Amino acid sequence: MSIDYEKLRERYTESRDKQLSSNHGLRLDVEAYCHAFGQEVYGIKMNGGSTLYLLRECIFDPNHKNGEAAIGQADDGKLFYQCFHDSCQGHTWKEAREVISGKDNLSRFMGSASGGEVSSMTGDLISIKPLVVIGVQEFIGLDLPPRSNILSPWLPEQGLAMIHAPRGVGKTHLALLVAYIVACGGKSFNGWHAPESKAVLFIDGEMPAAVLQERLSGIILGTGIEPQAPLNILTPDLQTNGMPDLGTKKGQVSMPKNFVPFLPE
């Protein structure tokens, strides 16, 4: 009786990968696996009890781009493939693996469920660590640095602020001035002080770019100082397809990769 060694090897590899995932508390490091075989992970998304590793390009249809397809991993380590287009429905993880890596051994990509690494929305690797929970006595005794201000005395770090006034009073002009002073750092105006320079992303949703440029030019000439940190402008007039809804995941992943999406799902 002849033995089909190729089929036997395939069965052995699949069985070992399954045991590594389910019986030993290990799971596939999807980020490392994709990187090793040239699949770019666009970001991650938590979906119920599963983690979706969003792909830059669908494995089965390259026209489906920028997070429209994903490799999914359930809490128990089970893997699946998902594309949000009807034409790709029904494709499985096994099919995806065949396309990506064929019969390559996956054991080198297996890791601890609590200590692995996943992609943030920027595609960078971040370490997963257990949450830290401490008692009230220990918490009260912590030596924590005092909260500082980005612009003293009213714009604190890790805080929110709102400028409100009737139309035409100058809210955008004031916001531009605040952004510029914060990016410059070490400067004061109108009794407000920016202790140090901070990177700023100024997002405008409706003002013509030419008007925004005119106002910002006036601020630069009026202050006579240069930003020490990046001051970036996002304005609708420079967008080919208009401004996305930054309150949605699709809008957030459309941001350039050097900006970390900061809006909630």
The mean per-residue pLDDT over the stretch 13-27 comes to 52
The mean per-residue pLDDT over the stretch 39-45 comes to 85
| Length, in residues, of the chain | 265
pLDDT over 90 at 176, yes or no: yes
pLDDT over 80 at 262, yes or no: no
Model pLDDT for residues 241-260, shown as the tens digit of each residue: 778 777 776 676 677 655 54
Residue 173's nearest CA partner among 128, 139, 218 is 218
pLDDT over 50 at 21, yes or no: no
CA distances from 26 to 52, 129, 208 (A): 18, 15, 53
Residue 183 pLDDT:
92
Q: What secondary structure does DSSP assign to 204-220, as a single string?
A: -SSS-HHHHHHHHHHHH
The mean per-residue pLDDT over the stretch 221-244 comes to 86
Query: What is the CB neighbour count within 10 angstroms for residue 133?
Result: 6
Model pLDDT for residues 207-224, shown as the tens digit of each residue: 899 999 999 999 999 888
The mean per-residue pLDDT over the stretch 166-187 comes to 90
The mean per-residue pLDDT over the stretch 232-246 comes to 84
The distance in angstroms from the start CA to the end CA of the chain is: 59
The residue assigned the tokens 């949605």 is 248
The mean per-residue pLDDT over the stretch 43-57 comes to 85
**What is the share, in percent, of the chain residues with pLDDT greater than 90?**
18
Cα separation of 154 and 161, whole Å? Answer: 8
Residue 103 pLDDT:
78
Helix or strand (DSSP H, E) at 31: helix 30-36
